[in-house]
Amino acid sequence: MSSIGKLMKQAARIQRQMEEVQASLAARTVEATSGGGAVKVVATCNRLISSIKIDPQAVNPSDAQLLEDMILSAVNNALKQAEEISNSEMGKVTSGLSIPGLA
């Protein structure tokens, strides 16, 4: 088989594997908390926030800035975890990819 044929076959296989990994990542979730658990964020590993839970005791109208900071922290932590998992899983698919001329 010609090297172009092998490359096309390899590209098709990798594309199928990437689609499978993407579907798997969409179903996989990570959870992050902040404020000692007062704010909990759940995100999918394809980097979408699926839920935010706030402990009612954390809601203090006179200190909205603290609550906003806790939400931001939890969201960023959840998205960071999701990105790390996503990069790891996608790296497994592309690790064996060898494209002539690229090193």
Residue-wise pLDDT for 31-43, tens only, equals 999 999 999 999 9
On the 0-12 / 13-18 / 19+ scale of CB atoms within 10 A, 34 is: buried
CATH 3.30.1310.10 describes domain 3-94 = yes
pLDDT at residue 101, rounded to an integer = 55
Are 86 and 46 in contact by the 8 Å Cβ rule? The answer is yes
pLDDT at residue 43, rounded to an integer = 93
| Tokens 């990437």 -> residue | 18
Instruction: Please state whether the predicted TM-score (pTM) of the whole model is above 0.75.
Output: no
Residue ranges of the chain whose pLDDT lies below 50: 102-103
pLDDT at residue 7, rounded to an integer = 83
Kindly list the domain boundaries of the chain, sorted by start residue. Answer: 3-94
User: Cα 65 to the chain's mean position, in Å?
Assistant: 27
